Amino acid sequence: MAKGTPFLAQLRRNGLLRPFRLLQQDAHNYAGRWLSDWTVFNQLVFASAVYVFFTNLLPGITFASDLYVLTGQNWGTIEVVFSTGLCGVIFSLFSIQPLTILGVTGPFSVLAENIYELCEGSFGIDFLSFMAWSLIHAGWMHILLAVFNAHDWTMLYVTEFSCEIFSLLNSIIYFHKAIQELQRAHDNLSFAAFLYAIIGAVGTFLLALFLSYADKWPPIFHRFVRLGLREYAAAIAIIFFIGIPYAGELRSLDKDTLYTSSEAFRPTKPGREHFYVRFWELPVTWVFAALIPGAIITILFFFDHEISSIICTIQRYGTRKPTGYAQDIVLLGLTTAFCGILGIPPSNGLLPQAPLHSESLLHDIPGEFTEEIVTDAYGVERIAKKPVQCVYEQRWSVFLHAGAILAFIAPPLQLVLGLTPTSVLAGLFIFMGEQSLAVNPILQRTFWILTPASDLPPLPPGIRSWWAVHAYTLFEIVMTVVIFIVTLTKGGPAFPVIIIALVPFRLLVMNRLWSRDVLRYVDRWACRAGCPDDRDDNHDDADRGDDSATTACDIESGIESDEKAAHISTGATKVNGPAAESTGDVEKGVATPVSATSTAIEVR
């Protein structure tokens, strides 16, 4: 056999690298679902649109405040709002997975701030022109990834280990941004105004957090009232603490508010009159140099957007329509390049907004339920029936919320945004960080470190003690802190490369540090069934001639139909001890072993 034959075989029909293979599948699925996505509209869909509007716009404003200071006023509120609304509307019309929410993300903000420092402090070149070329390069790189089916040979090997670290990094970035906002308030305001800024930030966070649990309150209000308070928790807290500083004696306090362009629809930076960049004037040397940040942005956006799309369509949400990834990556590449030309920050998949969007669309399916055998605290077993839930798969919630955000580029509405104190946005940063952290399995396993051994759930056979699990959790936390520290240095633009490097590290190194049983308990594939350490069993089965042995491609190709069938099944699953009370590992009648990764969505 010729040496190059194995590689060439991947380019043939059904080969892993055959160009346009996934794009053809996505185009077929897109045509089959597009019309039906517009036929679903009801009160819950509208409420979801309102909910996502606030949880997307308000954090976007907070990033705008930060970018305004740390990019030399090149990007501000109107640029972030313009990008979020424009990209959201485009994706609501043309994406194959309409549940994904787009916006300007925390990790990209960190990346952009580092690139600005390099452009102004080291390179001596125009930031917007260099960033435009970086985003143009990122655009065609995205398209190449989609053409050559990158999802199959990248995300197929990503485990929850990398996803959990990336999610924790997002939470830390949210908390860090809040501290930065308060630090700037300390520098710019009087001492009395600074003290109130702290009150405003903490109050915004606590009120939003308190209202977000309204559905768990005793029935002091009607159930629909409590559900409404939960859905609009962040919005109520923001509006309340925006209004308070303008009432009574607090009106005399100086305030640090967002800078907005309330006179006309024009860029934030003084002297810049139009929303386009003269990128062709950048010296050709720097055009090629922009390939490096372009590749880094591609890695960040590809990983971030794919994870967002996967998380908002996991089994818990009961999605049944065909989905895909390649078409959305092409669309992401086009919008990224277009944003670079316009001189605005690009938008991509958001965490935690994407799963929060799916959560807000969950509803009970009439006549479908699952049965569970649950052991209560007194050791009594009983059968509990749970209604089967799924999300409304439609495009209206994304289209409406993105269109409403796009409307805020109008000068009168920009004036309204200009009334927002940055201290209130700091409180929202804390709230969004808590929202992201609350659904991260690292948090639950961290609690287990602090829990007496006698109160911990039983370990599966093969794991002798909790120390190996605790060491795994501490390693994830240390790695996240190391990556965050890197973002604060001049090497900050390279932090997405470190996150991607965790994928081969997990597959090739960590199985030498932890036993296979421990890794099965704490980790699993991110977008298909099983975990990496099941491969050894499959290989053993294949050596014995077991027909049940499957390859990675076999698993990936069959998982979608298996999961769709699982959504409508009913059965009985036994859950014991603390797991029955807290983790909620059983979903829609599918029996799954209790594991440390199963609390990803159920922690709250």
| pLDDT of 332 strictly over 50 | yes
Residue 298 in contact with residue 142, Cβ under 8 Å? yes
pLDDT in tens, 377-418: 666 777 877 888 888 999 999 999 999 999 988 888 888 878
C-alpha span between 110 and 490 (Å, rounded)? 11
C-alpha span between 574 and 61 (Å, rounded)? 46
pLDDT in tens, 82-108: 999 999 999 999 999 889 999 988 778
Which residues lie below 8 Å from residue 475, measured CB to CB, with a gap of 6+? none
Count CA atoms closer than 13 A to 12's CA, side-chain side: 5
Could you give phi then psi for residue 580, rounded to 5 degrees? Answer: -70, -25
DSSP codes joined into one string, 86-100: HHHHHHHHH-S-TT-
Lowest mean pLDDT among 88-102, 185-199, 277-291, 481-495: 481-495
- Is 374 a domain residue? yes
- Is 569 a domain residue? yes
> Coil, helix or strand for 257?
strand
Residues in the chain: 604
- Mean per-residue pLDDT, 424-432: 87
C-alpha span between 349 and 167 (Å, rounded)? 13
Q: What share of the chain has pLDDT > 70, as a percent? A: 84
pLDDT bucket at 298, cuts 50 / 70 / 90: very high
- Mean per-residue pLDDT, 494-518: 87
- Is 226 a domain residue? no
Residue 108 in contact with residue 345, Cβ under 8 Å? yes
- Please state, rounded to an integer, the average pLDDT across all residues of the chain: 81
> Residue type at 535?
R
C-alpha span between 299 and 142 (Å, rounded)? 9
> Coil, helix or strand for 51?
helix
| pLDDT of 208 strictly over 70 | yes
Question: Is 0.85 topped by the overall pTM?
Answer: no
Residue 251 CB neighbour total at 10 angstroms: 9
- Is 9 a domain residue? no
pLDDT in tens, 515-531: 999 999 999 887 777 88
> Residue type at 87?
C
Which residue pairs, CB below 8 angstroms and at least 24 apart, start in 89-93? 89/399, 89/402, 89/403, 89/406, 90/331, 90/335, 91/328, 91/331, 91/335, 91/398, 91/402, 92/395, 92/398, 92/399, 92/402, 93/395, 93/399
| pLDDT of 126 strictly over 60 | yes
pLDDT in tens, 530-577: 888 776 555 444 444 444 333 333 333 333 333 333 333 333 333 333
Cα 346–chain centre separation: 15
Lowest mean pLDDT among 49-58, 183-192, 593-602: 593-602
Rg (CA), the chain: 25
- Is 195 a domain residue? no
Residue 466 in contact with residue 448, Cβ under 8 Å? yes
Residue 316 in contact with residue 281, Cβ under 8 Å? no
Q: Which two tokens mark 185?
A: 């308030």
Q: What is the pLDDT of residue 588?
A: 34
pLDDT bucket at 503, cuts 50 / 70 / 90: confident
Q: Tell me how far CA of residue 49 lies from CA of 54, 396, 442, 466, in angstroms.
A: 9, 8, 30, 43
- Is 236 a domain residue? no
- Is 599 a domain residue? no
| pLDDT of 373 strictly over 80 | no
The C-alpha angle 198, 433, 579, rounded to 5 degrees, equals 125
Which residues lie below 8 Å from residue 464, measured CB to CB, with a gap of 6+? none
Could you give phi then psi for residue 211, rounded to 5 degrees? Answer: -70, -25
C-alpha span between 505 and 503 (Å, rounded)? 5
Q: Which range marks the domain in which residue 571 is found?
A: 40-189+256-582
Sheet holding 381-391, edge to edge: 381-391, 362-375, 572-575
Nearest to 328 by CA among 97, 557, 121: 97
Q: For residue 575, what are the β-bridge partners?
A: 374
C-alpha span between 100 and 351 (Å, rounded)? 10
Q: What is the pLDDT of residue 265?
A: 80
Tell me: cis bond preceding 412? Omega within 30 of 0 counts.
no
- Is 93 a domain residue? yes
pLDDT in tens, 35-64: 999 999 987 898 889 888 877 887 787 778
Nearest to 201 by CA among 173, 168, 177, 231: 177
pLDDT bucket at 262, cuts 50 / 70 / 90: low
Q: Which two tokens mark 407?
A: 């409307």
C-alpha span between 421 and 245 (Å, rounded)? 9
C-alpha span between 122 and 161 (Å, rounded)? 36
For residue 247, the 8-state DSSP code is S
C-alpha span between 554 and 557 (Å, rounded)? 5
Q: What is the pLDDT of residue 8?
A: 59
DSSP codes joined into one string, 428-452: HHHHHHHHHHHT-HHHHHHHHHHS-
Nearest to 331 by CA among 598, 25, 34, 23: 23
More confident residue, 136 or 225: 136
Q: How many domains does the chain have?
A: 1
The shares of helix, strand and coil residues in the chain, as percent rounded to the nearest 5, are 65, 5, 30
